[in-house]
Copies of this chain bind each other. A is one copy, B any other.
Amino acid sequence: MTIEINKNVVKDYLTSLQAEIIESLQLVDGENFLIDSWQRKEGGGGTTSILEGGNVFERAGIGYSCVTGSKLPKSATDTHPQVVNRKWEAMGVSLVFHPHNPFVPTVHMNVRFFVASKPGEADIWWFGGGIDLTPYYTFVEDVIHFHRTLKNTLDPFDKKLYPIFKRNCDDYFLLKHRNEARGVGGIFFDDFTDNNFKYCFELIKAIGSSFTKAYLPIVQKRKDNKFSNKERDFQLYRRSRYVEFNLLQDRGTLFGIQSKGRVESILMSMPPLVKWSYDWKAKKGSPEEKLYTDFLPPKDWV
C-alpha cells in the first residue's frame, strides 16, 4: 500500500514550526524578530524572520520558503540525476543563530521536503534536514546534552538513524580546504524516504520539536558568561570559517544562489561581524587550542 504524499500538511507544519521557534527565541532574547514576506518571480515565496542586534543574539535568522521551478540547477542534478527535466517544489525551514556571547555556540537547523514531478509518472520525493552546533568556547556537558537530545529524538524511530545521521553530519560539515570540522556536528540527512511519507514526516516533526530542547538550555546556561576582547576576537575569527563553509561548500546556499533564490534570505546565515587573520594559530595549552584539539575532531559524544 502506498501512502500518498501531502504537500499541504508539510507546509502547514513548517510555518507553525517557524512561528514556534520565533516565539521561544523572543522570550530568551527580549527583542522581536522582523518578519519579511517575499515572492519569487520564478515561482513560490517565503517568509524570512530576522533579529539583528538583540540582547542575546547578534544575528538570528529563520526562514520558511516554498519555491517551485521547471528546471533544477546544477547543484541539485549533480547529486540527484534522477530529477533532471522534472518540475520541482522545495519547501523548508532553515535557521542560523549567531549569539553575541562567545560562550554560546552558533546553531543551524534545516528541515526540508522536496518533490519532483512529471505527468504520468509517480512523484519523486524526499525529506532532508539536520541540526548542528558550532561553538567557540565550549563545555563538554553542553555538547553531550546537544547530541543526547538528538539521539533521544531519533531512537524511537530507529536506533540505526542517529549513528548514520551523526556520521553524515561530520562528513558534510568538514571544511575540505582546511580539513577541519565546522563545529561539533549533530545530525544531517538527505534523500530520506524510509518506509513511507507518514513515517518520514513524523521524523521531521520530531526533529523540528527537538531544536529548542537541544539548543536553548545551552543558551540559558552560558548567555551571561563574562567575556573579554580576547574571546570576542576569537569568535569573530572563527566565524570566518562559517562564511568559508557556507559560500564554498554548502549545498543549500549554492542551490539557492544558482536557482536565483532571494539573496538576502539565503545569506541570512552569514555572521553579523567576521574577522580574517593571516595564518592565525592558537597558543599551546590555551582555551582556543582546546577547540581544535578536543572539540572539532569528530568523536562520539553520547
Q: Does A264 contact B (CB under 8 A)?
A: yes
Which residues of B are found within 8 Å of A268, using beta-carbon distances? 278
Which residues of B are found within 8 Å of A151, using beta-carbon distances? none
| Nearest B residue (CB) for A247 | B247
Docked pose: A77 CA to B89 CA in angstroms: 33
Contact A276 B59, CB 8 Å, known A243-B247, A247-B248, A248-B257:
yes
Q: Does A50 contact B (CB under 8 A)?
A: yes
**B240–A277 touching, CB < 8 Å:** no
Which residues of B are found within 8 Å of A277, using beta-carbon distances? 52, 272
Docked pose: A248 CA to B261 CA in angstroms: 15
Q: Does A28 contact B (CB under 8 A)?
A: no
Q: How large is the interface on A (under 10, 10 to 19, 20 to 34, 35 or more residues)?
A: 20 to 34
Number of copies: 2
| Nearest B residue (CB) for A270 | B276
| Nearest B residue (CB) for A264 | B279
Contact A61 B278, CB 8 Å, known A177-B257, A257-B177:
yes
Q: Does A206 contact B (CB under 8 A)?
A: no
Which residues of B are found within 8 Å of A240, using beta-carbon distances? 270
A213 to chain B minimum Cβ distance, whole angstroms, is 27
**A278–B34 touching, CB < 8 Å:** yes
Which residues of B are found within 8 Å of A271, using beta-carbon distances? 276
**B263–A178 touching, CB < 8 Å:** yes
Q: Does A273 contact B (CB under 8 A)?
A: yes
Docked pose: A243 CA to B272 CA in angstroms: 13
**B264–A52 touching, CB < 8 Å:** no
Which residues of B are found within 8 Å of A247, using beta-carbon distances? 243-244, 247-248
Which residues of B are found within 8 Å of A61, using beta-carbon distances? 278
Q: Does A274 contact B (CB under 8 A)?
A: yes
Q: Does A267 contact B (CB under 8 A)?
A: yes
A245 to chain B minimum Cβ distance, whole angstroms, is 10
**A275–B273 touching, CB < 8 Å:** yes
A64 to chain B minimum Cβ distance, whole angstroms, is 16
8 A–B contacts from the bound complex (CB under 8 Å): A34-B278, A177-B257, A178-B263, A248-B257, A270-B276, A273-B274, A273-B275, A274-B276
8 A-B pairs with the lowest CB-CB distances in the bound complex, closest first: A247-B247, A270-B276, A264-B279, A274-B274, A50-B278, A177-B257, A177-B263, A247-B248
